[in-house]
Structure formats: C-alpha cells, structure tokens
Amino acid sequence: MGPGVIIAFVRYEGDAPFSLTFVDEDQGLVKSIDSRPGPYQGERVHSVFEGNDGGLAPGNYMVNVVATGPWRLRLFQERAIRDQTPEITLAGSGDGGGSWIHLDDGEYTMTTSHAGGSDFTVELFDAKGVPPYRIVEIKGDHEGKSGFTVGGGVPGENPQAGACHGSGVPG
C-alpha cells in the first residue's frame, strides 16, 4: 500500500457482525470496519502516510475478515479526476457516499444534510494521505453550510491544495 488514500468497499450478506482489520508486517492492527449485526454495505476511507500513529502507513498488509456469511471486498487507491463542475453532489445511504474531487486553492462552501438519528461525519481526505479534515461531525438530523479554505495550512487543520476525497460516513 502506497502513501495517499485507500478505500475499502464492503458488501456483507450475513446476519452476525462483520469486521475488517488491516494487519501490518509487525502484526500491528488497524481496525477498518466493525459493524453491528449484518447485513452490511458501505465504504471506509483511510489516510496512508508515514508516521500515521494508530493508522495506516505505507507498507505491506494482510486483510483479516471476520464474517459468518457471504462477503465481498474491494480495496483501491484511486486518482482524482480534474475539471469537474463547481457544484458536486454526493449522496448515499449507510456508510460511504464519497467520491474524488479536485479542488484548486481557494475558498469553498460545503452544504450538507443528514436525516436520521445516527452519527454523521463529512471529511476531506487529501490524495497525499495527510490526516483528514473534518467538515461536519454531528449526531441526528442535520442541515447546514461549512466554509473551508484549500491550500496551505497544517495537515488535518486545513485541506491541502489538490485532490480530496469527500466522504459522508453515517455511523
């Protein structure tokens, strides 16, 4: 696994809980998905960078899956597509709903909404794998706008210029 962002897409048809864990060469564990009783379908986005304490760093991993029924897993590191229109709509149900977007340096406003009693988180993941920038973290119904600047700043405090993966993650 190289530096950047890795996305795990999972479809699980069993009734018991499902878990997905990355195991590094030193037997260190990074939990990716730990679901409530199945079935489960969703995605998880992980930053991959050197010094990612408790997270994924570039290197070789085994994937440990615990499941009692049929499951399917896709892991990939994707590149961003440029020249998208300024208004981008991402939608989903359950985990996931993210997509790659290319953001040039500048000021942006993100409009978000969520219906339901679960946790709702929206994060931007830089294509270089720096820690994600959290736009929204709330429990329950939500509708709002958040402003942010792309370019410069400290990783995890301000999105860096370039490709970001926007991910809405209800929990």
Mean pLDDT of 66-87: 70
**Picking from 1-5, 6-10, 142-146, 160-164, which range would have the lowest pLDDT averaged per residue?**
160-164
Tens digits of per-residue pLDDT, 17-44?
Answer: 888 999 988 888 888 888 778 888 888 8
Tens digits of per-residue pLDDT, 39-75?
Answer: 888 888 888 888 887 788 888 999 999 899 899 888 8
Q: Last residue of some domain: 76, 110, 133? A: 76
Whole domain around residue 144: which residue ranges?
99-168
Residue-level pLDDT at 96 = 62
CA distance readout (Å), 166 to 13, 44, 158: 27, 11, 14
Cβ distance 96 to 168 under 8 Å? yes
Residue-level pLDDT at 169 = 42
Is residue 94 a part of any domain in this protein?
no
What's the whole-model pTM score?
0.57
Is residue 65 a part of any domain in this protein?
yes
164 — pLDDT class (breaks 50, 70, 90)? very low
Same domain, 10 and 69: yes
Distance CA 99, CA 94 (A): 15
Is residue 161 a part of any domain in this protein?
yes
170 — pLDDT class (breaks 50, 70, 90)? very low
Instruction: Considering only residues 106 and 86, tell me which one the structure prediction assigns the higher pLDDT.
Output: 106
Q: Which CATH number characterizes residue 158's domain?
A: 2.60.40
Residue-level pLDDT at 161 = 38
Q: What are phi and psi of 59, to 5 degrees?
A: 155, -170
